[in-house]
Structure 1
């Protein structure tokens, strides 16, 4: 069977970019894949228009894997029944705690919401399945950063542009690194009204069978001064560990 050369090159480009969290330039693609520059440019430009890759413009354009590629990957994951495995647990958990529960995964220096489970009387949240938010001001993103390997964490943090959403939003790298240390100490993270003034969230990491952070789960609630958020943190940590073990995680050796 004769294979289409452009299709092969497109797949090779996506594979290379997906393995490069820091991104790849056009020169990188041409050098590593031995491609003519005009052909590589036409392919990545088309991929960018389709949302398959993201483009960071600078002295040289830098390409990272796009949200559309991730959504396609999620569909594959769904077919493996990964979501089907955790869905009943998180759906029951949302009902038990009476709060909206999310499962999210990293995408570059953002977190993408893969699942959303609501109780019988849900609060209105702006996050929807498929949407993404910055890592540095979400409980999901903070635990993913905190438990990622050092090199990967540094790559993600280096791409963050700190924006103030509320007066409580983390302002810079040093403040973020200090908070990530606290997250690792207690095992869960807060979004202490950093994205929205009225919303408080708490999240904990989910690990795969190899002990790598796969994503995170969180619960969202309207901020209440009388709420015991530390207790909620411990509760969601237990649930995140239950989910991790369902996925084959046996604990750190």
Structure 2
């Protein structure tokens, strides 16, 4: 790896400060937060403004905000963004950490569709495939995605619909599902205990895009022979971190 260029690093540090707060900063604030010399900060702000990475705030003299150039770069990045490809990359990283099966799924009506999957290397593991479709109410990713819907949207999807059982543990009642989704919203993660497969439990966390909308969920699936309360807590944290990493790659500012 080559040597980092200090001036470029400082310029990027300045730009990243604008991701926080109200999105405006003054030179003294940058100086204080980065502990840089005032002359250095002035020169860097002047250079970034000259290249349209920053612009002065007209109604607040002495303050800057992000300029159009940063939007252009972000838009070009978004043009080439592929949720499935990014999901596969992050799923691989999570699977390498826990050596369990990791999925990324999206919601379609009342089903989930797996768009990315990385297998565990254990002989005993969950068997599935990218592209597989399952009832959302029977899976941790599905419950996570259903919990992200507004109450009206959820009601419109489940009204008059039968919730089929995949195992004896599957949720089949509408009120039972609503109660389960309340727990998901409260916890911020979803857990499924042998509801889609009698030999597997899963935990899932939400993936958000640049607008903050939940667009997918990332789950970790574990055979019951390796499942415990301690393992559940550990994997819930790992799933949340993986989902946050994927969200960050989609442009979600609060992901990390």
Structure 1 length-normalised TM:
0.63
Instruction: Return the alpha-carbon distance in structure 1 between the equivalents of residues 189 and 135 of structure 2.
Output: 17
1:183 maps to 184
Q: Deviations over 1:172-196 (max 9, x none)?
A: 0111100101101111111110111
Q: Distance in 1 between matches of 2:248 and 2:81?
A: 17
Instruction: Show the counterpart of 1:207.
Output: 208
**Structure 2, gaps ≥5 residues long:** 1-77
For residues 122 and 107 of structure 1, the distance between their equivalents in structure 2, rounded to whole angstroms, comes to: 32
Aligned to 2:110: 109
> CA 1:190–1:122 in 2, change beyond 3 Å: closer, same or farther?
farther
Contact 1:109 1:160 in 2 (8 A): no
* Aligned-residue offset at 1:235: 2.1
Aligned to 2:174: 173
| Whole-angstrom CA distance in 2 between matches of 1:149 and 1:91 | 31
Equivalent in the alignment of 1:246: 249
Q: Which moved more, 1:159-168 or 1:190-199?
A: 159-168
Cα separation, partners in 2 of 1:154 and 1:117, compared to 1, 3 Å: same
Q: Which runs of 5+ in 1 are unaligned?
A: 1-76
Say which one has the larger Rg: 2
Q: What's the counterpart of residue 233 of structure 1?
A: 236
Q: Deviations over 1:74-129 (max 9, x none)?
A: xxx99743333343222021011010000000111100011111233364434311
Q: Is the 8 A contact 2:136 2:146 kept in 1?
A: yes
Q: What is the TM-score of this pair, normalised by structure 2?
A: 0.63
**1:113–1:127 CA contact under 8 A, matched in 2:** no
